Chain A
Amino acid sequence: MLMFLLRRLAVALSVVLTVSVIAFLLLHLSGDLALAIAGPEASPEQVAQVRAQFGLDRPMIVQYGAWLADAARFDFGRSFYFRDTVAALVVQRMPVTLTLGAISLGVALVIAIPLGVLAAVKRGSWIDRAALIFCALGQAIPTFWLGLSLIILFAVNLRWLPVSGSATWAHYVLPSVALGWYAVPAVMRLTRNGMLDVLASDYIRTARAKGLRWPQVLFKHALRNAVVPVVALAAVQFGFMLGGSIVVEAVFSMQGLGHLAWEAIARKDFPVVQAVVMLLATIYIGLTLLADLLNAWLDPRIRVA
């Protein structure tokens, strides 16, 4: 188990390093940085001064090393636009996005897994068909449209929930549904197919031959095995949600990381973009690692791999 953990950690670290190279190059591939910082009206002398001041005249590999060392200490420099350090900006915006992502994933799993189990057990029934139609709808409806529709229905017409912002828990309800909706079809289908496979397996027949009752056969013996691939998918979906929260944060005017990234890209605020990319990638890799560990716990056969 320890070897398994170490090997996974090593893989995760190498992926983080690869992402850091890409994030660093991102900055330099988009044109002359000194020119961008100094502004279009700057004289050549001013540009040269900026270049020296920001250390942009050093070799690329040295710049990368310095940047990586700073990044490792969570120092991404200063925002070109905001009068603040990038770290402070990110720390300020992060909780909103993480909370939104976590609740959205929760909403998605709470809907998708029971629905998938039900569809598998009642295979071919109207429940199964309704669930599959629900899935097709889920994938066809774009997030922004769903978000706006939810606002019109629940916030404007029914006045049950606030329209926008992220001040209270109530503010998170509609965005979470809008964002979580996206993950439901994939998780539900994977749960359904996993359950169908597992329910047809020999060990389920063994469980029934022991005289175990349905709930125990279903939840102890079947679901635990069926849910293994779902865990990996959920981690991936959570990553998508962090990235995809850009749209939802825009629709619901939430001051999160997505919103920050969108602003930073529009203003060519590269340090912020770099930091957001690095952070989201690291979180994503961390989640994948967590999913691996969770799977190893669920399925003992994985532990030796």
Chain B
Amino acid sequence: MPLLDVDHLTIDIPTEGGLLHAVNDVSFTLERGETLAIVGESGSGKSLTSLALMDLLPSKAIRRARSLRFDGIDLQAASERDKENLRGDRMAMIFQEPMTSLNPAYTIGDQLAEALRRHRKVDRKTARDRAVHLLERVGITAAASRLGQYPHQLSGGLRQRVMIAMGLMCEPDLIIADEPTTALDVTIQAQILKLLRDLQQEFGMALILVTHDLGVVARVATKVAVMYAGRLVETGPVEAVFGAPSHPYTRGLLRAIPVPGRTRPGEPLGTIPGQVPSLVGPLSGCSFRNRCDHAQDACASEIPDRTVTPGHRMACILDPVQTWAEAPALALDDRRPQ
């Protein structure tokens, strides 16, 4: 039984112009210890997908799924109380805005301890010790003295480390990180990513990493799910998807990455012409077809779900490729510490 089983997840948001089909029929599974990267551009539905798992969607949003199970628990049938008990305990989330995701009125120590004391019957001392331990673990120096500090006294990088420590307070089985490095400096980004990867292995957690950065995917993830306009267009092990990208959108994304040694200075990077279509109103066919070089009449009618190699699926009428000459030499090799 997978830790997480998402089957045909759909999220609709009523707007003044009509129903916005933000996420359409997204399916994936995740095992313990795996890292899934959900990749896509803004508005592709990747953040909403992760919020849907935590049941933290905006109240207007309508979530449906054929099946939505966490460790066998049916999340759709679970009571509000049951879901509150899961959140923060067995599944935790790290948000992309470290500057605004901590409450300005309470100290770091209070907000860390609270995460543990909500789910475990522990005294203040135990909660405090755990907070210090985790702050040290996420690389914060003078951890004990940080407990009395307020969020505004910390830099963005430190706040994001605090957020990560907060997510780890109850040793969750699943941790969801929504663009955890987007708001940070490049040098800090690398540190935070390495930290997440190390912690994921140390605690044996499953990790879902929501990102638009394929470099991040290559460094951290074992599985990747590429989303476009609310749909999952290609998914599979990172080596398979990056080595033989079979959906034209995935290939377009990979072409847009500069490759050291191959991309010459001044040479334009690959771009995908056109814009993401509106997701308001009824949708049919492949939503990438108006930007796709290979678009055919058949693209307007059906979206196939095809298997490239076992575990590697894609949603395009084109025949899957087995290798791709243009595959960028992303840093797949330094992904796991040997």
Residues of A near any B CB (own CB < 8 A): 201-203, 205-213, 216, 221, 224-225, 298-301, 304
Could you pull out 24 A-B pairs where Cβ atoms are within 8 angstroms?
A202-B97, A202-B101, A203-B101, A203-B103, A205-B95, A206-B103, A206-B166, A209-B54, A209-B92, A210-B87, A210-B88, A210-B114, A211-B84, A211-B86, A211-B87, A211-B118, A211-B119, A213-B84, A221-B106, A225-B104, A299-B105, A300-B105, A300-B152, A301-B150
* Distance, CA A71 to CA B99, complexed state (A): 50
**A203: B residues at CB distance < 8 A:** 100-104
Q: Given the interface contacts A202-B95, A301-B150, does A209 sit within 8 Å of B105 by beta carbon?
A: no
Within 8 A of A (CB), among B66-109: 84-89, 92-93, 95, 97, 100-106
A251 nearest CB across to chain B (Å): 41
In this complex, what residue of B is CB-closest to A300?
B150
Inter-chain contact B105/A225, CB cutoff 8 Å: yes
Inter-chain contact A210/B166, CB cutoff 8 Å: yes
* Distance, CA A26 to CA B118, complexed state (A): 61
Inter-chain contact A212/B102, CB cutoff 8 Å: no
**A212: B residues at CB distance < 8 A:** 84, 88, 114, 118
For B56, B92, B105, which residue has the most chain A Cβ atoms within 10 angstroms?
B105
**A216: B residues at CB distance < 8 A:** 118
Inter-chain contact B103/A207, CB cutoff 8 Å: yes
* Distance, CA A301 to CA B102, complexed state (A): 13
Query: How many residue pairs between the two chains, A and B, have CB atoms under 8 Å in the bound complex?
Result: 68
* Distance, CA A299 to CA B152, complexed state (A): 11
* Distance, CA A210 to CA B91, complexed state (A): 9
**B92: A residues at CB distance < 8 A:** 209-210
Residues of B near any A CB (own CB < 8 A): 54, 56, 84-89, 92-93, 95, 97, 100-106, 114-115, 118-119, 150, 152, 163, 166
Q: Given the interface contacts A213-B84, A300-B152, does A206 sit within 8 Å of B105 by beta carbon?
A: no
Inter-chain contact A206/B95, CB cutoff 8 Å: yes
For B84, B103, B115, B163, which residue has the most chain A Cβ atoms within 10 angstroms?
B103
For B92, B104, B119, which residue has the most chain A Cβ atoms within 10 angstroms?
B104
**B152: A residues at CB distance < 8 A:** 300-301, 304
Cβ-defined partner of A211 (8 Å) among B88, B97, B101: B88
Q: What 14 new A-B contacts, CB under 8 Å, besides A300-B152, A301-B152?
A: A201-B100, A202-B100, A203-B104, A206-B163, A207-B103, A208-B56, A210-B88, A211-B118, A211-B119, A221-B105, A298-B105, A299-B105, A300-B105, A304-B152
